[in-house]
Amino acid sequence: MATTPTEVLAFPNIKAIVRDNGTAEVVVAGNSRAVPDGQTLPELRNNALALVVTEAQTLQRPVRVQIEDPEGHGELIVHPDNRIESVSYVPRPARRRAQAPVTTAEAAAPAVVEDASVAAAEPTTIPIRPAPVEATAAAIDLEPWPPTPVGTEEPGHASPGVHGIGGAEAESPAAAAPEEPLSLRSLKETSFLVSTPVLEPATQGWRGTLTRFGFRMDPSAEELAEREDIRTVSQHWPGPRTIAVVNRKGGANKTPTVVMLSAILARYSGAATVAWDNNESQGTLGWRTEKGAHDRSVLDLIDSSTELLSPSTNAAEIAKFVHHQTADKFDVLRSDENEEGDHEVTAEEVDIAHQVLTRYYRLVIMDSGNTARAANWRRMIDHTNQLVVPVTAIEDRAEAARLTLQTLESRGGHDAELARNAVVIVSESTDAKRSMSGDALKRAKAEAQRIADGFEPFVRAVVRIPYDPALVNGPIRYEALQPVTQRAWLAAAAAVAKGF
């Protein structure tokens, strides 16, 4: 049964672009992915669609993809089970050259030579020949990328549909010949630029050492993966993005997760980033981050929201209400820390604070309390673009995380989609308030692996974080972490950013 576009979520935004210079790319949520080379236009399309199918399988749901190639543009729906449906396709109008008037035999001769060159030219710069059968992904059942090759069908005579990547039916030269000679490709349709970036030499390990000695070495697979994660977290996305860090159990590593994601995204992307303690009463984010020169909290920001949302207010005024992290380059909006206060943040106040913050910041990363029934918790979910669920190597933390996801799944709609697209971050830590080593550390690693394996089938990504004593107590600083821990948190942030 055909799927309507409204039944498929529009995020992440996916584009598949095939160019007439023989290159192609797939862009997922602003992240460009190189497409393997192809010898023919259909083969390039196949390689691009294979990357989109992989993305659909990763998300475990159909995705929408905008397509563009030298022959036209349109939209497809790509399913995880390798089905591809054509939603629309608009061919580019064929360019036709005006026939020059023939006045003399001498003037006619050059025109004949020019016409011959035009007749021999292909519609694209990619040679059109049947792709090898063994190179096609015939298991994918789809409508054709373009329903018919542009300029090869007569009005009212549609070509048969394609039912597999690379499975386009070969057309006879007579059917493919246009009625009139096509025009020469215009300068507007030609580019000498190559989009593939130059591979920089290795900088890490023994390969990096040899490079510094003058022997240029390609980077290892590990270094390439790290570069890709850095590129992913360095993106700027159109419009603000909100990340909610949730677990119904206290001590599940929510606050360290908020701090680490904020630090990495702010450091690499340079985007204005705020970590917001959305605890319904008193949270601990302020205790584990740097304090500014004032004591203001989210309640003060809400009280001043009218002024902050005024068009005449300067952007720097937000600094009166947040606490800047001088080393890690993000701001913190603290919860109310008044011991004598009894105010609980309402859903309407969450709306106000979120409206203010998304005016001043690109990225809003929200810490949360332990009550999924609280009004501010549920309204936070309404504003969320990406869900993050942290757990530690303790079974009751993992069970609380499972129940949190189950609650969201049961609500359906936006909440359920967040649960399925969630990133689970499993830290190899326990409730111990001192450094772990020996058998205790081995047990924590084994338990963290068991928990990670248990969550993997139900969410988009699971990332493990090694134990690091710098995260146990006191203020959290990115530079205080061990290099292996920094690398793990970079991978976690990249997994989160891929959901935008």
For residue 105, the one-letter residue type is A
Of 232, 264, 234, 230, nearest to 499 by C-alpha is: 232
468 close to 485: Cβ distance less than 8 angstroms: yes
Residue owning tokens 């003058």: 214
What CA–CA distance (Å, rounded) separates 351 from 332? 18
What CA–CA distance (Å, rounded) separates 108 from 415? 71
What CA–CA distance (Å, rounded) separates 41 from 361? 43
Burial of 282 (0-12, 13-18, 19+ CB in 10 A): middle
pLDDT at 360: 97
Within a 10 A sphere around the Cβ of 239, how many other Cβ atoms?
8
Burial of 222 (0-12, 13-18, 19+ CB in 10 A): exposed
Any bridge partners for residue 183, and if so which? none
For residue 376, the one-letter residue type is N
Phi and psi for 420 in degrees, rounded to 5?
-70, -30
CA angle 320, 276, 238 (to 5 degrees): 95
Residue owning tokens 């959901």: 499
What secondary structure letter does DSSP report for 288? G
What CA–CA distance (Å, rounded) separates 380 from 420? 17
Output the six-digit token pair for 2. Answer: 């055909």
Q: Is the peptide bond before 219 cis (omega within 30 degrees of 0)?
A: no
What are the distances in angstroms from CA 485 to CA 404, 451, 494?
A: 26, 19, 14
Q: Which distant-in-sequence residues (6+ apart) come within 8 Å of 171 by Cβ?
A: 149, 152, 159
Q: Where are the beta strands (DSSP E) in 205-340?
A: 241-245, 273-278, 323-324, 331-333
403 close to 419: Cβ distance less than 8 angstroms: no
291 close to 349: Cβ distance less than 8 angstroms: no
How does pLDDT run along the chain (500 residues), one tens digit per residue? 667 766 787 778 899 998 888 888 898 877 788 888 888 888 888 889 999 998 888 888 898 999 998 888 899 999 999 899 888 888 887 655 545 455 444 444 444 334 434 334 444 444 434 444 344 444 444 445 654 433 334 444 433 333 344 444 444 444 444 555 545 556 776 677 766 677 899 999 999 999 999 999 999 999 999 999 999 999 998 899 999 999 999 989 999 999 999 999 999 999 999 999 998 878 889 999 999 999 999 999 999 999 999 999 999 999 999 999 999 999 999 998 777 767 889 999 999 999 999 999 999 999 999 888 899 999 999 999 999 999 999 999 999 999 999 999 999 999 999 999 999 999 998 665 556 677 888 888 999 999 999 999 999 999 999 999 999 889 999 999 999 999 999 999 999 999 98
Strand, helix or coil for residue 451: helix
29 close to 237: Cβ distance less than 8 angstroms: yes
What CA–CA distance (Å, rounded) separates 469 from 434? 7
pLDDT at 120: 40
456 close to 427: Cβ distance less than 8 angstroms: no
Output the six-digit token pair for 261. Answer: 């994601």
pLDDT at 433: 52
What CA–CA distance (Å, rounded) separates 317 from 319? 5
Strands 141-142 and 331-333: unpaired
Output the six-digit token pair for 336. Answer: 């109310």
Model confidence, pTM: 0.64
What CA–CA distance (Å, rounded) separates 469 from 464? 16
Q: What is the CA radius of gyration of the chain?
A: 28
Q: Where are the beta strands (DSSP E) in 219-301?
A: 241-245, 273-278
Output the six-digit token pair for 148. Answer: 């018919």
Strand arrangement, sheet containing 323-324 = 323-324, 331-333, 273-278, 363-368, 241-245, 386-392, 423-427, 461-465
What CA–CA distance (Å, rounded) separates 111 from 101? 9
What CA–CA distance (Å, rounded) separates 35 from 26? 7
What secondary structure letter does DSSP report for 96? B
Count of residues in the chain:
500
465 close to 492: Cβ distance less than 8 angstroms: yes
